[in-house]
Amino acid sequence: MFPTIFVDNTLSPCHAPGMNLKPRPQTALDDGATPESDAAVLAVRLGDTLNLEVDEFFRAWGITVRQFNVLRILYVRDLGRHGISRGAIEARLLHRVPDVTRLLDRLEAAGLIARHRPKDNQRTVLASLTDKGWDLVEQSHLPLLAMNHTQFANFSKAELKTLIALLQKALKRPSQTTTAAE
């Protein structure tokens, strides 16, 4: 089902100038017996390709994909525009970000979000979309869907459903219950 990448495990000569090293067998190469490594490499390549395309798309809107992710979370999760905490935003991000506060700072400086402290809990800071942020999400929505369509144009609807199911299954890995020493 998965294409396997076969590698020639023969000895390869060492051509390091000025060094007298003997050829050694390459034992850490995939012999094609485990499609899991091929699946992992292809998943990483696909993710990288999609990330590059989405980054380029959002560059035209003057934001990064990580910034859009925050805007989209606020758009979907804060319909009343009362605000969402930094921790709640961080828990829903697609990409882990080392400093969510700085990400929010940049969005606030761009006028896309506003932050405030609720009267009943002055220790909490909530972020909400400004009209400018709301408009950016809505205006970018259809062009983003069109780009997503072109990214998977060579798939039928049935193939996309299968791909989605397989990706969801891959993300629901069993917990690591064994240790390396076992």
Kind plus residue range of the DSSP H or E element containing 85: strand 84-85
Cα atoms in the 13 Å half-sphere on the side-chain side of 55: 7
pLDDT, tens only, 99-119: 899 999 999 999 999 999 888
Check if the beta carbon of residue 30 is closer than 8 Å to that of residue 57. no
Residue 16 is predicted with a pLDDT of 56
Residue 12 is predicted with a pLDDT of 52
DSSP 8-state class, residue 89:
H
Token pair 């190469």 in the structure block, residue: 29
Q: Where are the domains of the chain?
A: 35-157
| Residue-averaged pLDDT of the chain | 86
Cα(first)–Cα(last) distance of the chain, in Å?
A: 32
Lookup: tokens for 67: 């910034």
Three-state DSSP class for 11?
Answer: coil
* Beta-bridge partner residues of 127: 84, 115
**CA distance to 67, 102, 104, 106, 137, per residue, from 63 (Å):** 6, 14, 12, 10, 11
Check if the beta carbon of residue 125 is closer than 8 Å to that of residue 109. no
Residue 177 is predicted with a pLDDT of 47
pLDDT, tens only, 18-70: 678 888 887 777 666 688 888 888 999 999 999 999 999 999 999 999 999 99
Check if the beta carbon of residue 113 is closer than 8 Å to that of residue 74. yes
**CATH topology (fold) of 35-157:** Arc Repressor Mutant, subunit A (1.10.10)
Q: What mean pLDDT is predicted for residues 154-168?
A: 95
Name the pTM for this structure: 0.75
